[in-house]
């Protein structure tokens, strides 16, 4: 699990930055016909991805109990690998392969040298989540992305309010006991909204952008509720409530206008 961390303004800005990365990759992939997921148009793919989420969650929970002293190092190593790969893809697409390698190595080196720096951490999360969501999302049909989104909204609610295992997972992998005005927002709270927005790009680029912007409003709503209730909350249901409503209205409006 990777997290955005910092004060509210910082987290929102990096969240927005990550959405820009995701949409940039989605527009490029839609233009070039690039697809990284086979069968993304099938609704069944959403259930397959959801199943893998459950499997990987179970694996990480097991690692926390069995290798509690080492699990953070394992996650950090995986983060570095994904950071290099996604940065290489982003700069390779929009600049050059050499730029991709250079920036990938540079950001990995910064993450290694300053592991506690929130700015570098958030940059890492933005590239990993943004590039992955953009490429996978544009390979999905809107229905597939929507189904996966709804499934994970329900799972997020259940895992925080019913079983509580998502809170244990977050605490086992990351230090989320921040003082002062700092907040934390999980990478999944970025990936799913960005996934839906990216899936909309081949249908309507405008609606995809509006959908992404509405996810930011959902994050702001989540932070407002965190201040009010002062307890861990699943962000995805609140982000989703705003984003899905705005997306549905935008799609309806674009259909009427066309």
Read off the pLDDT of residues 91-122 as tens digits, 9 standing for 90 and up. Answer: 999 999 999 999 999 999 999 999 989 999 99
Query: pLDDT band for position 182 (50/70/90)?
Result: confident
| In the predicted structure, residue 13 carries a pLDDT above the cut 50 | yes
List residues bridging with 185 in a β-sheet. 4
For residue 137, the tally of other CB atoms under 10 A from its CB is 33
């Amino acid at each position: 699990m990777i997290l955005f961390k910092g004060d509210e303004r910082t987290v929102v800005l990096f969240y927005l930055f990550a959405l820009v990365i995701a949409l940039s990759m989605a527009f490029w992939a839609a233009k070039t016909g690039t697809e990284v997921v086979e069968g993304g148009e099938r609704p069944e793919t959403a259930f397959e991805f959801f199943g893998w989420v459950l499997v990987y969650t179970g694996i990480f929970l097991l690692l926390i109990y069995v290798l509690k002293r080492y699990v953070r190092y394992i996650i950090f190593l995986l983060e570095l690998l994904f950071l290099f790969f996604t940065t290489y893809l982003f700069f390779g697409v929009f600049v050059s392969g050499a730029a991709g390698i250079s920036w990938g190595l540079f950001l990995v080196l910064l993450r290694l040298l300053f592991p506690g720096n929130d700015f570098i951490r958030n940059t890492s999360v933005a590239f990993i989540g943004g590039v992955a969501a953009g490429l996978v999302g544009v390979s999905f049909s809107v229905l597939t992305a929507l189904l996966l989104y709804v499934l994970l909204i329900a799972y997020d609610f259940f895992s925080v309010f019913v079983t509580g295992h998502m809170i244990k997972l977050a605490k086992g992998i990351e230090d989320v006991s921040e003082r002062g005005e700092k907040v934390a927002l999980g990478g999944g709270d970025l990936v799913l909204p960005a996934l839906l927005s990216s899936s909309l790009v081949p249908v309507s680029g405008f609606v995809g952008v509006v959908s992404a912007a509405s996810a930011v409003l959902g994050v702001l709503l989540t932070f407002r509720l965190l201040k009010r209730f002062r307890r861990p909350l699943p962000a995805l249901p609140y982000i989703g409530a705003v984003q899905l409503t705005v997306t549905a209205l935008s799609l309806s409006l674009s259909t009427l206008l066309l």
